[in-house]
Amino acid sequence: MDGFLINAIVYILAAVIFVPFAKRIGLGSILGYLIAGIVIGPFVLGFISNKGEGHDIMHNAEFGVVMMLFLIGLELEPKNLWKMKNLIISVGLTQVLITAALITSIGIFLGIDWRIALATGLSMSLSSTAIVLQSLKEKNELGSTTGKMSFGVLLMQDIAVIPILAFLPLLAITAIDLPTTGGYGILENQPNWAQTLMIFGAIGLVILLGRFGFGPLLGWVSKTKLRELFTASALLIVFGIAFLMNLVGLSPALGTFLAGVILANSPYKHALESDLDPFKGLLLGLFFMAVGATINFTLIWHEAYGILSLTLGVIILKTLVLLVIGKFKKLNLPDNLSFAIGLSQVSEFSFVTYAFALQLGVFSQSNSDMLMAVTALTMTITPLLLVLLDQFIIPKLTSTSTNKKTEIDPKIPDQNKVILIGFGHFGSTLGRFMRANGVEATILDSDPDQIDFLRKMGFNVYFGDGTRLDLLHAAGAEQAKILISAIDNTEHSLKLVQLCKEHFPKLEVMIRAKNRYDAFEMMEMGVKNIYREHLDTSIRMGEDVLKKLGFRAYTVHRLAKQFRDYDEEALKVLVKFKGNKDEYISKVKKQIELQETLLSGELMRKFSMNDHVWDSDAMKEE
Amino acid sequence: MRKILILFAHPKYEHSDANKALISAVQDLHQVQIRDLYELYPDFNVNIQEEQELLFEFDVIIWQHPLYWYSCPPLLKQWIDLVLEFGWAYGPGGNYLNGKFIFNAITSGGSPELYSHDGKNRYTLEDYLRPFEQTALLCGMKYLPYFQLGGTHKMSEIDLAQKADEYRQRLIHLRDAESISSVFPHQTLK
């Protein structure tokens, strides 16, 4: 237990120290984690004593990548994915095949055994999903042309992992009996057709569950109103799919990505995002630290020349291949450079393929060690290169060539100008009115039954408690113009006001208040747009009463408007006295008196205090 | 028998003895319908479709209103702006009002004498009502001479009753007469 606590403290402390520092000086969080990993690793401070431990941690933390792909899937609706199919196939497949072929032939040319060269080539053609997507997200470039192309390539590579893992055993020099380690277990002993069948069965199962299983599960769980249970269910979905994929030998990341895409249309999208995001972040951070910790500096020191030239060679080769592809896809130079250099590192999946190749006897121990060092180094160097590119090279290029960045459409689905929180009777009336006038809002509500019903009516309602910051982020509070709180609960409303004030000062907050006491609190918090829910209705009812008593409709209309304005004004006075009960009561009495005098003037047909319009009495007296 | 529609606009009818006298003098007349615009549309949201359908049924239309700043109260102007649509009241296909009779029935604080070239108001009431006249003509309607109840500030109850009866007689004439001459002087029925 002590060991665990100390470990946890070491990792977290390293992250807390180095990541903010790295971000501050513009290196981005990934480099921060990598540096933290190197520092606590065996070659600097030695908290992680042996390489095995680092690898173990890395292996476990790889799950962050799985979660990241699930979350990315959530952002991507099936129809958008379908639109990307050309990109995935043409750009992605070309990249993998050409890169693998080039590395293999160079290897053979240098006199390395063709089997080793081919295994190396295939492994090194992959790029790191974790690093690329994380840095794209950090720069908010996932929606840009470069972002989309990078994503297409990464997706293809994730698919390519499957045939690569299937292909490696064919390269085995001696037919050794494989130690069936967990993973690709149950498929080994099956005939080919059964393997294929099981793979398709597993994918089918994921799609079916995504369509019909997860929604009801989440709905059922969310009714308990226990937030941790919802988080647990979200984790269950990701773990379950990862397990299933492992079982049939598919990439867990690919499986969860698929599930994410299917759930992209679900009402729980934003809630899932905000619940899983911290896990993903922590695991990825841990993963990057583990990569840093496994860099074998002794080996690098001894074989400095070989390893460094290999590392640079791989980066340059991958960059060149990607540059050519980018050129064909008509990327401008700055975009093309960040696309190519961004994807030029070697993937975390390569650690898996090296280990597999080692087991199979394709690689020797020294091969594997060297390649691992090269891979970790590429993962460290490319973020650095990107920083240099962004800070020094691209500004120069864009100042000379025309800046095409304006064309980029950073549109995420459901980025509306209005966020509506609470879709009960109040909120839904508001929502219908806005929609009738062509204003779509991103709607959040925490009642699963209500959501189900409204979804059937064609409203894009998402499940979630709108008073959570992460959920507000996910709903696009940073880009939105107006946030409407139509929730029934004063406490939540006040919390929401506070959150918006702190985190989204530009957002215009419009808020439903239950009564004047709520309104007072909101006024004190500086909210300008307060709507007491009963005010308009009760005055409107009063209007009708007066009309039925024989008052003229237009007169009543004006009186009602005056009364309402007066009441709002009076509230601004009263709020100053709300702390003092005696004074408050006397003020209220005074306000009521004043109000009544004002209005009774009309009743007495004098109406002289403030309204002389259409009054001919004065002229008569002349 | 012609059907008569009174489009009545007064933002503060409850204070207008003059208009009350006029309305109560004609409200029981057969074939006469009074449309109290400020009561119907306190929010100025005139129902165009309904107004047009109604206009179609009537042969004589009266804009009854007090004279405010030498014109009508804003809701009546709103009614004109909204209801007399292009393509319905005028312009191509806008022939639904063709041949109908229309005129203004006005109450004014100032006495009729003030509305002359020598008077304080410098122009005749006819001059002030030109926009209404032209509106009617553009819509193919026959614009009849106005009816005026002037000097409401100083009017005795007897005079008021007499004037109201005059209004009633004119409406009966418009309803029942064989033919209406478009040039009858507005004092004919005195």
Taking only the tens place, the pLDDT of each residue in B32-63 is: 999 999 999 999 999 999 999 999 999 999 99
Count H helices and E strands in chain B, helices first.
Answer: 7, 6
Suggest the residue from B8, B10, B12, B69 to mutate for an interface test with chain A (most A CBs closer than 10 A): B12
Give pLDDT, residue B48. Answer: 93
| C-alpha distances in Å from residue A260, one per residue of A145, A150, A167, A247, A382 | 22, 19, 28, 19, 28
The 10s digit of each residue's pLDDT in A257-288 is 888 888 887 888 888 888 888 888 888 888 88
Total residues belonging to chain B? 190
**Which band of pLDDT confidence, cut at 50, 70 and 90, is reported for residue A178?**
very low
| C-alpha distances in Å from residue A358, one per residue of A4, A171, A189, A351, A367 | 30, 11, 21, 11, 9
The 8-class DSSP code of residue A202 comes to H
Are residues B62 and B102 in contact, defined by beta-carbon separation less than 8 angstroms?
yes
Mean pLDDT over all residues of chain A? 80
Which has the minimum average pLDDT: A174-183, A472-481, A530-539?
A174-183
Which has the minimum average pLDDT: A79-83, A186-190, A460-464, B184-188?
B184-188
Collect all residues of chain A within an 8 Å Cβ-Cβ radius of residue B65.
Answer: none
| C-alpha distances in Å from residue A64, one per residue of A58, A414, A525, B55, B96 | 10, 26, 40, 73, 74
- pLDDT of B102 over the 80 cut: yes
CB proximity A559 to B under 8 Å: no
Look up the ipTM and state it. 0.81
Give pLDDT, residue B188. Answer: 41
Q: Regarding predicted confidence, which is higher, A310 or B102?
A: B102
Shortest distance between the Cα of B9 and any Cα of chain A, in A, equals 11
**Which band of pLDDT confidence, cut at 50, 70 and 90, is reported for residue A189?**
low
As a three-state string, the secondary structure of A511-530 is EEECCHHHHHHHHHCCCCEE
The Cα–Cα gap between A334 and A345 comes to 19
- pLDDT of A179 over the 50 cut: no
Phi and psi for A62 in degrees, rounded to 5?
Answer: -55, -20
Cβ count near B72 (within 10 Å): 25
pLDDT above 90: percentage of residues in chain B: 79
As a three-state string, the secondary structure of B113-167 is HHCCCCCCCCCCHHHHCHHHHHHHHHCCCEECCCEEECCHHHCCHHHHHHHHHHH
- pLDDT of B187 over the 50 cut: no
Helix (H, G, I), strand (E, B) or coil at A57: helix
Instruction: Retrieve residue B128's tokens.
Output: 């002030």
Are residues A432 and A464 in contact, defined by beta-carbon separation less than 8 angstroms?
no
Tell me the residues of chain B between 32 and 51 that have a Cβ less than 8 Å away from chain A. 38-40, 42-43
Q: If you average pLDDT over residues B89-94, what whole number do you get?
A: 92
Helix (H, G, I), strand (E, B) or coil at B7: strand
The 10s digit of each residue's pLDDT in A375-397 is 888 888 888 888 888 878 877 77
**Which band of pLDDT confidence, cut at 50, 70 and 90, is reported for residue A447?**
confident
Suggest the residue from A540, A548, A554, A606 to mutate for an interface test with chain B (most B CBs closer than 10 A): A554
Shortest distance between the Cα of A594 and any Cα of chain B, in A, equals 24
**Which band of pLDDT confidence, cut at 50, 70 and 90, is reported for residue A411?**
very low
Output the pTM of the full model.
0.56
**Which band of pLDDT confidence, cut at 50, 70 and 90, is reported for residue A360?**
confident
Give pLDDT, residue A9. Answer: 86
Shortest distance between the Cα of B41 and any Cα of chain A, in A, equals 7
Closest-CA residue of B relative to A552 is B39
The residues, ordered by sequence, that sit 6+ positions from A277 with a Cβ below 8 Å of its Cβ are A71, A470
Q: Regarding predicted confidence, which is higher, A573 or A487?
A: A487
Shortest distance between the Cα of B171 and any Cα of chain A, in A, equals 26
Give pLDDT, residue A410. Answer: 34
- pLDDT of A599 over the 60 cut: no
**Nearest one of B161, B123, B130, B126 to B18, comparing CA atoms:** B161
Give pLDDT, residue A608. Answer: 38
Shortest distance between the Cα of A555 and any Cα of chain B, in A, equals 7
Q: Regarding predicted confidence, which is higher, B72 or A308?
A: B72
- pLDDT of A600 over the 70 cut: no
Tell me the residues of chain A between 589 and 608 that have a Cβ less than 8 Å away from chain B. 605
Q: If you average pLDDT over residues A35-49, what whole number do you get?
A: 80
Phi and psi for B8 in degrees, rounded to 5?
Answer: -105, 130
Q: If you average pLDDT over residues A18-35, what whole number do you get?
A: 81
Partner-chain residue, chosen from B15, B16, B39, that has the shortest CB–CB distance to A554: B39
The 10s digit of each residue's pLDDT in A540-587 is 999 999 999 998 999 899 889 888 888 888 888 778 777 666 777 777
| B11·A614 Cβ contact <8 A | yes
The Cα–Cα gap between A597 and A606 comes to 11
Instruction: Retrieve residue B4's tokens.
Output: 């008569």
Closest-CA residue of B relative to A561 is B43
Q: Tell whether the torsion through CA atoms of A122, A125, A128 and A129 is positive or negative.
A: negative
The Cα–Cα gap between B190 and B186 comes to 9
Give pLDDT, residue B62. Answer: 97
The 10s digit of each residue's pLDDT in B111-131 is 888 999 998 999 999 999 999
**Which band of pLDDT confidence, cut at 50, 70 and 90, is reported for residue B67?**
very high
CB proximity B109 to A under 8 Å: yes
Give pLDDT, residue A250. Answer: 76
Give pLDDT, residue A398. Answer: 66
Which has the minimum average pLDDT: A551-565, A586-600, B7-21?
A586-600
**Which band of pLDDT confidence, cut at 50, 70 and 90, is reported for residue A1?**
very low
Instruction: Retrieve residue A569's tokens.
Output: 């004004």
Are residues A161 and A349 in contact, defined by beta-carbon separation less than 8 angstroms?
yes
Q: What type of residue sits at position A430?
A: L
Are residues A222 and A230 in contact, defined by beta-carbon separation less than 8 angstroms?
yes
The 10s digit of each residue's pLDDT in A71-116 is 878 877 777 778 788 888 888 888 889 999 999 998 888 888 888 8
Highest mean pLDDT among A79-88, A235-244, A246-255, B48-57: B48-57
Q: If you average pLDDT over residues B4-27, what whole number do you get?
A: 94
Q: What type of residue sits at position A327?
A: K
CB proximity B13 to A under 8 Å: yes
Give pLDDT, residue A391. Answer: 79
The 10s digit of each residue's pLDDT in A498-545 is 888 888 888 999 999 988 888 888 888 888 899 998 899 999 999 999
The 10s digit of each residue's pLDDT in A424-441 is 889 889 988 998 888 888
| A620·B154 Cβ contact <8 A | yes
**Which band of pLDDT confidence, cut at 50, 70 and 90, is reported for residue A452?**
confident
Give pLDDT, residue B82. Answer: 94
Give pLDDT, residue B89. Answer: 95
pLDDT above 70: percentage of residues in chain B: 95
Give pLDDT, residue A524. Answer: 86
Give pLDDT, residue A405. Answer: 36
Closest-CA residue of A relative to B37 is A554
Are residues A493 and A522 in contact, defined by beta-carbon separation less than 8 angstroms?
yes
Give pLDDT, residue B190. Answer: 33
Give pLDDT, residue B59. Answer: 95
